[in-house]
């Protein structure tokens, strides 16, 4: 008996290896760092080699059908690894897990664990259940979970820039969008925990943070609990509440030597107060991602975006009045239900008028269960969607190229992130407006803030030479 106990205590605890792959938006990449932290506590160590892993987790996206198809292909490929290692556990996390739930376990038997975005604290138990031969799923959404107390384990980090989630979920119900169904109700995270995370990152040597939320402009903290609108708060709650502009200011002051970015702004909610904070703090980057989705008010109404073309234009004007040098980028969807040729032209003319620095552009992809899927036929033929998409891409490329040429001869401030993909002799970083900038390395190093004179520009990149170190 004695002997047995001894053997058991001395047997080494097998360290298990976790391989985690992320798809979709920055929030998913940020969540993977929370997942890694939770599992690290349980003795897992992260590996970047999928063949070495005991547990493989795919943190998935459901935003468009092709995002899900990619994951299916990946899961089929990973089945091969299972043949080599019979104990390998494969899990699906994130938005596709939340959307498909049990179906993922049943359909093709590709997956052992399914966990939705609010169930990550349960992952150690879910993995243990699989080891006991049970089906393992948790897709409960929460009204409160923000993982505020979990210090993320930075994965694939360049050691320079990091994401901080400031809120979760979305309450907007844009008719095309699956996010409210996969991420649940909107909830904000305590401001102190956000500022603490920023300070910790600074102490670890990071130089840039990006505050993340699906709609940062509706961030509101008044002591926790389910979300309320500002006007629903009691006078005491109002007095102590923190909105996004307040949070941005608190963070800018707490880490004056770090660059601060944020994403995503919503045109219906963005305020002058936020833009004024950007103007007042030089360490807050002059860059706003402001998705328009369409340039036509009827289509915007069908999309349930709650603003018109004119409202959007007013917001762009307001930003440019306060911050003339602000970079603005956009998301556009082409071929939304019933979009006419004239309405598509309105999108092109809005892009021409706004002169976005760059845009993310997509063909409409109907998502089951969304308002649009239930109410409007997906009636724009594939070839028309594609042609419209090509038109907006061509226009955006032209505008990006023209705008980037205007940088030639100018000086920009770049935070060095790492090696340029094209040449080991060059650094790659971003300027204030989030444009990729390349310059010869000389004595500079990642994390340096460098003044760079631009002498060449393409649609996506500025190329220059360093002039010296920069200050905010
Ligand atoms: N919260 C952000 C967007 C998150 S999703 C916002 O409100 O702008 C990122 C982008 O994916 C969206 O801006 C939209 O352009 C695109 N998208 C979302 N659902 C889509 C769908 N069903 N088909 C095509 N593109 C979609
Ligand atoms: Fe989706 Fe709209 Fe929410 Fe953005 S704001 S995540 S597009 S529902
Ligand atoms: Fe995709 Fe979910 Fe983000 S659907 S875009 S990973 S919130």
Residues 53 and 115 in one domain: yes
Contacts for 470 with CB less than 8 Å, ≥ 6 apart: 413, 414, 449, 450, 451
Residues 400 and 418 in one domain: no
On whether residue 3 sits in a domain, the answer given is no
Q: State the CATH number of the domain containing residue 329.
A: 3.30.750.200
pLDDT value of residue 231: 84
| Cα 65 to middle of ligand 2, angstroms | 16
Q: Please indicate whether residue 266, judged by its CB atom, sits closer than 6 Å to ligand 2.
A: yes
pLDDT value of residue 106: 86
Q: Is the dihedral of CA 393, 396, 402, 408 positive or negative?
A: negative
| Cα 337 to middle of ligand 2, angstroms | 17
**Region of 294 on the Ramachandran plot (φ > 0 left; ψ -120 to 50 alpha; else beta):** beta
Question: Looking at the 3D structure of the chain, how many domains does it have?
Answer: 4
Q: 201 by DSSP, 3-state: which?
A: helix
Contacts for 356 with CB less than 8 Å, ≥ 6 apart: 328, 329, 330, 396, 399, 400
On whether residue 261 sits in a domain, the answer given is no
CA angle in degrees (0–180, nearest 5) for 354-357-360: 95
Q: State the CATH number of the domain containing residue 67.
A: 3.40.50.12160
Distance CA 353, CA 356 (A): 9
> Would you say 374 and 400 are in contact if contact means Cβ atoms under 8 Å apart?
no
pLDDT value of residue 11: 46
Q: What is the number of the ligand 2 atom nearest to the C-alpha of 170?
A: 3
> Would you say 138 and 157 are in contact if contact means Cβ atoms under 8 Å apart?
no
Q: Profile the chain (472 residues) by mean pLDDT over runs of 10 residues.
A: 42 77 96 96 91 95 96 91 86 97 85 97 95 90 94 91 96 97 95 97 97 96 77 86 96 98 97 98 98 98 98 98 98 98 98 98 98 98 98 98 98 97 96 97 97 97 97 79
Which residue out of 29, 92, 94 has the highest number of ligand 3 atoms within 8 Å of its CB and is therefore the one to mutate?
94
pLDDT value of residue 325: 95
Which residue out of 62, 63, 167, 170 has the highest number of ligand 2 atoms within 8 Å of its CB and is therefore the one to mutate?
170
Q: 392 by DSSP, 3-state: which?
A: helix
| Cα 262 to middle of ligand 2, angstroms | 16
Q: What is the number of the ligand 2 atom nearest to the C-alpha of 264?
A: 4
Residue 207 phi, psi dihedral angles, 5° rounding: -120, -5
Counting Cα atoms < 13 Å in the Cβ hemisphere of 273 gives: 12
Residues 400 and 449 in one domain: no
Q: What is the number of the ligand 3 atom nearest to the C-alpha of 117?
A: 2
pLDDT value of residue 225: 65
Q: Please indicate whether residue 255, judged by its CB atom, sits closer than 6 Å to ligand 2.
A: no
Distance CA 319, CA 245 (A): 14
**Angle, in degrees to the nearest 10, between helices 309-322 and 341-354:** 10
Relative to beta strand 113-115, strand 461-469 is unpaired
Q: What is the number of the ligand 3 atom nearest to the C-alpha of 27?
A: 3
Picking from 405, 433, 455, the residue at the C-terminal end of a domain is 405
Give ligand 1 pocket residues (Cβ under 6 A).
Answer: 63-64, 176-177, 179, 214-215, 264, 266, 291, 293, 331, 333, 362, 364-365, 367
Query: Which domain range does residue 206 map to?
Result: 157-256
DSSP state of 109: S
Q: Please indicate whether residue 180, judged by its CB atom, sits closer than 6 Å to ligand 2.
A: yes
Structure tokens at 95: 């938005």
Residues 397 and 427 in one domain: no
Q: State the CATH number of the domain containing residue 195.
A: 3.30.750.210
Q: What is the number of the ligand 1 atom nearest to the C-alpha of 291?
A: 8
Cα 385 to the center of its chain, rounded Å: 25
**Unique residue bearing structure tokens 């989030």:** 434
**Angle, in degrees to the nearest 10, between helices 272-280 and 244-254:** 10
pLDDT value of residue 110: 85
Quick one: 222 exposed, middle or buried, by C-beta within 10 A (0-12, 13-18, 19+)? Answer: buried
Contacts for 285 with CB less than 8 Å, ≥ 6 apart: 259, 260, 261, 278, 432, 433, 434
Q: What is the DSSP string of 261-301?
A: EEE---TTT--HHHHHHHHH-TTB-SEEE---B-S-HHHHH
**Angle, in degrees to the nearest 10, between helices 309-322 and 272-280:** 20
On whether residue 114 sits in a domain, the answer given is yes
Q: Which ligand sits nearest to residue 95's alpha carbon?
A: 3
On whether residue 301 sits in a domain, the answer given is yes
Residues 124 and 30 in one domain: yes
Which residue out of 62, 115, 368 has the highest number of ligand 3 atoms within 8 Å of its CB and is therefore the one to mutate?
62
Which residue out of 31, 95, 117 has the highest number of ligand 3 atoms within 8 Å of its CB and is therefore the one to mutate?
95
On whether residue 143 sits in a domain, the answer given is no
**β strands within 88-229, DSSP E:** 89-93, 113-115, 136-138, 161-165, 167-168, 187-188, 208-212, 220-221
């Amino acid at each position: 008996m004695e002997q047995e106990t001894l053997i058991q205590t001395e047997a080494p605890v097998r360290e298990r290896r976790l391989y985690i792959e992320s798809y979709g938006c920055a929030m998913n990449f940020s969540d993977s760092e929370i997942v890694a932290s939770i599992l690290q506590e349980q003795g897992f160590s992260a590996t970047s080699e999928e063949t070495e892993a005991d547990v493989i987790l795919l943190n998935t996206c459901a935003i468009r059908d092709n995002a899900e198809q990619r994951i299916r292909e990946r899961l089929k490929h990973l089945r091969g690894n299972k043949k080599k290692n019979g104990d390998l556990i494969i899990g699906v996390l994130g938005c596709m897990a939340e959307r498909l739930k049990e179906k993922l376990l049943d359909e093709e038997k590709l997956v052992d664990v399914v966990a939705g975005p609010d169930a990550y604290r349960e992952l150690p138990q879910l993995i243990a259940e699989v080891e006991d031969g049970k089906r393992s799923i948790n897709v409960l959404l929460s009204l409160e979970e923000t993982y505020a107390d979990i210090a993320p384990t930075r994965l694939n980090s360049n050691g320079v820039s990091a994401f901080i989630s400031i809120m979760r979920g979305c309450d907007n119900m844009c008719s095309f969008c699956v996010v409210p169904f996969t991420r649940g109700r909107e909830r904000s995270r305590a401001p102190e925990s956000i500022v603490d995370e920023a300070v910790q990152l600074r102490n670890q040597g990071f130089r840039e943070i990006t505050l993340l939320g699906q709609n940062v402009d509706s961030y509101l903290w008044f002591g926790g609990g389910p979300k309320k609108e500002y006007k629903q708060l009691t006078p005491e709650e109002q007095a102590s509440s923190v909105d996004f502009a307040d949070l941005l200011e608190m963070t800018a002051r707490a880490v004056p030597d770090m660059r601060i970015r944020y994403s995503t702004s919503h045109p219906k909610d963005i305020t002058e107060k936020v833009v004024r904070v950007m103007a007042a703090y030089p360490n807050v980057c002059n860059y706003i991602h402001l998705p328009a989705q369409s340039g036509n008010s009827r289509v915007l109404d069908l999309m349930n975006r709650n603003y018109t073309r004119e409202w959007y234009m007013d917001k762009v004007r307001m930003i440019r009045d306060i911050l003339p040098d602000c970079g603005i980028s956009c998301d556009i969807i082409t071929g939304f239900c019933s979009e006419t040729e004239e309405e598509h032209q309105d999108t092109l003319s809005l892009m021409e008028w706004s002169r976005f620095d760059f845009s993310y552009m997509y063909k409409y992809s109907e998502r089951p269960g969304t308002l649009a899927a239930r109410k409007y036929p997906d009636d724009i033929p594939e070839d028309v969607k594609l042609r419209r998409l090509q038109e907006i891409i061509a226009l955006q490329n032209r505008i990006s190229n023209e705008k980037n040429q205007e940088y030639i001869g100018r000086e920009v401030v770049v935070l060095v992130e790492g090696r340029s993909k094209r040449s080991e002799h060059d650094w790659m970083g971003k300027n204030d407006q989030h444009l990729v900038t390349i310059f010869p390395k000389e004595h500079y190093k990642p994390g340096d803030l460098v003044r760079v004179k631009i002498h060449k520009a393409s649609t996506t990149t500025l190329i220059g030479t360093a002039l010296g170190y920069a200050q905010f």
